[in-house]
Structures are given as C-alpha cells and as structure tokens.
Amino acid sequence: TWGFAPLSACLPALPLRRSRAAAALPAVRGLSLSRRRRRRRRGFFPDADMANVADTKLYDILGVPPGVSDNELKKAYRKLAKEYHPDKNPNAGDKFKEISFAYEVLSNPEKRELYDRYGEQGLREGSGGSGGMDDIFSHIFGGGLFGFMGNQSRSRNGRRRGEDMMHPLKVSLEDLYNGKTTKLQLSKNVLCSSCNGQGGKSGAVQKCAACRGRGMRIMIRQLAPGMVQQMQSVCSDCNGEGEVINEKDRCKKCEGKKVIKEVKILEVHVDKGMKHGQRITFTGEADQAPGVEPGDIVLLLQEKEHEMFQRDGNDLHMTHKIGLVEALCGFQFTFKHLDARQIVVKYPPGKVIEPGSVRVVRGEGMPQYRNPFEKGDLYIKFDVQFPENNWINPEKLTELEDLLPSRPDVPNIISEAEEVDLQEFDTTRGSSGGQRREAYNDSSDEESGHHGPGVQCAHQ
C-alpha cells in the first residue's frame, strides 16, 4: 500500500505570510475560504478564475487544467506520486519533489489564489524568501528565491555531484618552459569496500523516523491567524544523515561512515607553455560518497618568481647592466636560458645603447601552449652604468671631450643672472622643501608670540 505524505514530509513548506500580493486580492468575489473549498470540490469556478491565471506551470506538472476541482487535483497527484515515488523510482527524486510542490500549492486555497492571480511572483512574495525552497523554485521556474542555487550541482545523468577539490601546484618558470611530469600524493574519501558504501549489513540502514529521512526537523509555530513561522534544525537522532544504523550492525571497517580515507597518487603532466593560473583537471577523482557522482580534482598552477626573467604571455623580459664604454662602443655578453642553453648576445661597435632602452631577440621567448615549436620573443632592457665621480684624470678630460660629440652652444649670460649650486639628491628621501617651509613658519610663530595654530585671544 502506497502512502503519500504532504510536501512538508519531503521539503520545507512555504510560510503562509500575508504578502502585498495576497493583501491586494479581493475576497475572491466575496467568497469565504470554506465556500471556495466547497465550490472547488464540486468543480465550480467562475469563468474569470479559469481564464485569468497568470501561470500554468504547476498545473502542467500535475497534468490538470487551471479550473480543476479539489477531488480531481487529488486524484492526479496520487497517480503521479505513486508513479514517481522514490521508493519505487529512485532516480525520480526531483520529479517527485516537483509533483509534491505543485500539489502543496494548488491544494491550499490561499496559495492557489496567489498563484492563479500573480503567478510565480505571488508565491515568492507569499513565501517571504523561506529557506530550503530555493532548489525547488530553481527546478520549476528556472531560478531560486534569491536568483542562485548555492553550491548544489547535478551531473548530466541527474545524480547529485560532489564538490571539486582545488589544490595549488607551484611550478618554476623552467617547468613551464620545458614541461614537467611530477607525482602528487593526496588523501581522499572512497566508498568502503567492506560494506559497498552502505555503512553496515544489508538492510541494516534504516530511514530516520524522527526526521523521515530528511536530516532536518521542521518546527512550525502559529504567530497569528493566517501567519505561521517555520524553523529548521539538524535532526539530533541521525545528526543530519537522514539514516540510522544499529550499533551492532555497523561496518567494522568504516564504523558506519560508508567511506574511508585512501591515499591517491596522481601523475601530473605540466605541458610546455602552460601559464600561471591555468588548471589541470582530473575528472571524477575527488571525494566519493554514496549516491553522489564524485567531483574533480583541480590543480591550479602557481608560477614561482624567477631571478632573471619575467613572463608576459608568451614573451620574456629581462634587464641587463652594461657600462658606458659598452653602450658607446658595442658589447658581447652571455646568459643561461631556461632550457640551460648558453645564449650569446652581440651588439656592434658604433651603435649606441641609450639608458633604459629595449632591444628584442626574436623567437627566444616562451613556447606556445600545445604548439611548442612556436615561441614568443625575448625583450632585454639595458641599464647603463655611468662611472663614478673623478674617475678620470682632469688632464684626460680634454682628450675625452675631443673624442665625444661637440657641446651645444651656450647662450650669452646677462650680468644680472644669479649662479646657483647644483647638489646631489637622494630620491629615496624625497624633497625637503616642505620641512623648510614648516620650520620657517614655526620660527615666525615664536617671534610673533603665537603658541600654536588656531590660538586666539579671548575678548571680554
């Protein structure tokens, strides 16, 4: 014999709160709730009630027209509930929730009137944003009470899907240039092989009678006529599991937890050209749980800082110091690339390198991901080091000046011009002009007899 519980046995019920939409309803053309119930049982509805419904999705779920009587509504619900009950059809849990939700709304005169008149919006306002209803709203109307579904997700086959496990993986720039294969050890939950993820002997797992297998207890308190308050709490009998197992029948290996810890070794392939922030996914390798499709293990690449190179997409950047003579007369230097090659860089005499200038070496950047034979470019910024003060004998300066380009012509200096002293300046300390002005202001205040800013004499 099949027993059919109301929706409150499967998911939280909508609070019967008088919303603006409900308050705006006329008294159903002057009919009381009891008279409306009697008319629905007899299948009698005014034509306007049948024609002016705002939404028919809930009626469509039960396969009935908007003007259906209470008796026909109940028959349709019982027929569908028997067909899609989880005990008979375990894979139709979502469908059963939709059927129960639709019947819960349409069998309640006040909720049905809200839905007929205002559609989904009327139910949303009437529910007051109740917790626990977001999932069912999303299934039926395409969005939850607050426009999101939280962290719950489902796979393509309709099974609940577990959460993904995210792990950072630090890699060097050499690893990203050359590629690398490494092994990663991690611990995860797997179904207990001793009890096949049941937690105990066959038939030992029973649905919790206290919460009816929901894992949550619902308490409803009436605040006023037509207004109730609904509260949820974790079931203390099953600790939110929805199931109970007799102590003597529990699996000895997993102690009734259905899963055990297992060490997993993953072989990770870092391909050439991968970038910081790129993800490597191991599908279905996350924690296992009964009735849940495992999520993925996702490795997030984190590039470590390099002492010589900085990466920009597929290009590399580096800074190289040269002396003044090299900047003027050409140079040659070598450096070790990311694949351990020795690279020789030559610059011919007669071509000048300005301080801060950049030159490019084509094809010596990072390899492209999945096309490693194509590479970016290497950009070299030159830091020209000038000699220190008094590095040359004053007598030699004249000879050096004769070798360098001529000075620009100096304009005539008028007799009234004032000559100033050019001093060295430490950019790390900043300007001292503000301090000098402040000191000047302080000395002026002392001379004028002031003892601080804003101090004034009191007048009688």
The SS3 of residue 186 is strand
Using an 8 Å Cβ cutoff, are 281 and 169 in contact? no
In whole angstroms, what is the distance from residue 338 CA to residue 391 CA?
38
The SS3 of residue 50 is helix
User: Given this model, what pLDDT does residue 17 score?
Assistant: 41
Q: What is the DSSP string of 231-261?
A: EEEE-TTTTTSSEEE-GGGB-TTTTTSSEEE
At 369, list the tokens. Answer: 């991901």
Pick from 204, 202, 199: nearest CA to 257: 199
Is 155 exposed, middle or buried (CB count within 10 Å of its CB: 0-12, 13-18, 19+)? middle
User: Given this model, what pLDDT does residue 6 score?
Assistant: 38
User: Given this model, what pLDDT does residue 134 score?
Assistant: 47
Q: How many CB atoms lie within 10 A of CB 171?
A: 19
User: Given this model, what pLDDT does residue 359 score?
Assistant: 98
Q: What is the dihedral of CA 229, 234, 236, 242, to 10 degrees?
A: 110
Q: Count helices and strands (H / E) in the chain.
A: 12, 19
Domain assignments of the chain as residue spans, ordered by start: 56-125, 161-192+256-304, 309-385
**CATH architecture for segment(s) 161-192+256-304:** Sandwich (2.60)
Fold classification of 56-125 is Helix Hairpins (1.10.287)
The CATH code for residues 309-385 is 2.60.260.20
In whole angstroms, what is the distance from residue 452 CA to residue 423 CA?
34
pLDDT tens track of the chain, all 460 residues?
333 333 344 444 444 444 444 444 443 434 444 555 554 544 444 333 444 577 788 888 999 998 889 999 999 998 888 888 877 777 777 788 888 888 888 998 888 887 887 777 667 655 544 444 444 555 555 443 333 333 445 555 556 888 999 999 999 999 999 999 999 999 999 999 999 998 888 778 888 888 888 888 877 777 776 676 667 788 888 888 888 888 888 999 999 899 999 999 999 999 999 999 999 999 999 999 988 999 999 999 999 999 999 999 999 999 999 999 999 999 999 999 999 999 999 999 989 999 999 999 999 999 999 999 999 999 999 999 999 998 999 889 989 989 898 988 888 888 888 989 999 888 887 666 555 555 555 555 555 554 444 444 444 4
At 249, list the tokens. Answer: 């029948």
DSSP category for residue 45? -
The half-sphere exposure of 171 on its side-chain side, counting CA atoms within 13 A, is 32
Q: Do 161-192+256-304 and 309-385 fold alike per CATH?
A: yes
